[in-house]
Amino acid sequence: MKKVSFFQSIQFKIIIVFILLLLLAIQVMGSYFAQNLEESLMEKFRVNIDERTEVLKYNLIAEFNKERSEDEDEPSLEESIKTILDSYRNGEVFTVLQVIDTQNRVIGAINQQNLIGKRVPGENGITMAARYGQGRETIVTDTSTGHRMFVKIVPLEKQDKDLVGAIYTEASMEDVYNQLENINRIFLNGTILAVIISAFVGILVARAITKPISEMRKQAMIMSTGDFSQKVNVYGGDEIGQLATSFNDMNDKLRQANHTTEEERRKLSSVLSNMSDGVIATDETGAVTLMNGPASNLMGKTFKEIKGKQLIDVLQLEEQVVDLLDFQETGSITIDFSDDDEFFLIKANFSVVMDENDELNGLITVISDVTEQEKVERERREFVSNVSHELRTPLTTMRSYLEALTDGAWEDKEIAPRFLEVTQNETERMIRLVSDLLQLSKMDHKEQSVYKERVNIVSFFHHIIDRFEMNKNENIIIERQLPKDSLFIWLDKDKIIQVVDNIISNAIKYSPKGGKIKVRIIRVRQKVKVSITDQGVGIATEKLDKIFERFYRADKARSRELGGTGLGLAIAKEIIESHHGQIWAESQEGKGTTVLFTLPLINRKRGNR
DSSP character at residue 298: H
Helix axis angle, 568-578 relative to 493-510, nearest 10°?
Answer: 140
pLDDT of 281-291, one tens digit each?
Answer: 888 888 888 88
CA of 199: how far to CAs of 15, 17, 21, 30, in Å?
6, 10, 11, 20
Q: How confident is the model at residue 607 (pLDDT cuts 50, 70, 90)?
A: very low
Query: HSE-up of 76 (CA within 13 Å, CB side)?
Result: 5
Residue 606 has what pLDDT?
46
Helix, strand or coil, per DSSP, at residue 537: coil
Q: Spell out the SS3 assignment of 331-364.
A: CEEEEECCCCCCCCEEEEEEEEEECCCCCEEEEE
375-444 is classed in which CATH architecture?
Answer: Orthogonal Bundle (1.10)
Name the residue ranges covered by the structural domains of the chain. Answer: 12-179, 275-369, 375-444, 453-607
pLDDT of 408-433, one tens digit each?
Answer: 777 777 777 877 877 877 787 777 66
12-179 is classed in which CATH architecture?
Answer: 2-Layer Sandwich (3.30)
Same fold, 12-179 and 275-369: yes
Q: Which fold has domain 453-607?
A: Heat Shock Protein 90 (3.30.565)
DSSP for 307-329 reads TTSBHHHHTT-TTT--STTHHHH
Phi and psi at residue 9, to the nearest 5°: -80, 160
pLDDT of 332-352, one tens digit each?
Answer: 777 777 776 777 788 888 888
Which residue did the predictor score with more confidence, 280 or 358? Answer: 280
Which residue did the predictor score with more confidence, 259 or 388? Answer: 259
What residues contact 122, with CB distance under 8 A and at least 6 apart? 104, 128, 130
CA of 432: how far to CAs of 117, 330, 445, 512, in Å?
167, 48, 20, 26
- pLDDT for 598 beyond 90: yes
- pLDDT for 297 beyond 90: no
Alpha-carbon gap, residue 41 to 30, rounded angstroms: 16
pLDDT of 456-509, one tens digit each?
Answer: 999 999 988 888 887 666 578 888 999 988 899 988 888 888 888 888 888 888
Total count of residues recorded for the chain: 609
Question: In the chain, helix, strand, coil percent, each to 5?
Answer: 50, 20, 30
pLDDT of 379-398, one tens digit each?
Answer: 667 666 666 666 676 777 77
- Phi/psi region, residue 538 (left: phi>0; alpha: psi -120 to 50; beta: rest), is left
Q: How confident is the model at residue 119 (pLDDT cuts 50, 70, 90)?
A: confident
Among the residues of 445-582, which ranges form H helices? 457-471, 493-510, 556-561, 568-578
Residue 386 has what pLDDT?
65
Residue 436, burial from CB neighbour count under 10 angstroms (0-12, 13-18, 19+) = middle
Element (H, E) at 531: strand 527-533
- pLDDT for 529 beyond 90: yes
The top-scoring range by mean pLDDT among 22-31, 148-157, 443-452, 539-548 is 148-157
Phi and psi at residue 14, to the nearest 5°: -65, -45
Alpha-carbon gap, residue 587 to 592, rounded angstroms: 6
* CATH number of 275-369, picked from 3.30.70.2700, 3.40.50.300, 3.30.450.20, 3.50.50.100: 3.30.450.20
**Nearest residue to 585 (alpha-carbon basis) of 544, 553, 549:** 544
pLDDT of 542-576, one tens digit each?
Answer: 778 778 877 666 555 444 454 555 677 888 888 88
Residue 319 has what pLDDT?
65
The top-scoring range by mean pLDDT among 15-19, 318-322, 561-565 is 15-19
pLDDT, the chain, mean: 79
CA of 204: how far to CAs of 18, 189, 199, 211, 253, in Å?
11, 23, 9, 10, 34
CA 208 to chain centre: 40
- Average confidence (pLDDT) over 2-30: 76
What residues contact 11, with CB distance under 8 A and at least 6 apart? 203, 206, 207, 209, 210
Alpha-carbon gap, residue 564 to 551, rounded angstroms: 9
439-470 burial, b at 16+ Cβ within 10 Å, e below that, comes to bbeebeeeebeeeeeebebbebbeebbeebee
- Taking CB atoms within 8 Å and a gap of at least 24, the contacts of 382-389 are 382/551, 383/550, 383/551, 386/550, 386/551, 386/566, 387/437, 387/551
pLDDT of 159-185, one tens digit each?
Answer: 777 788 888 888 888 888 888 888 888
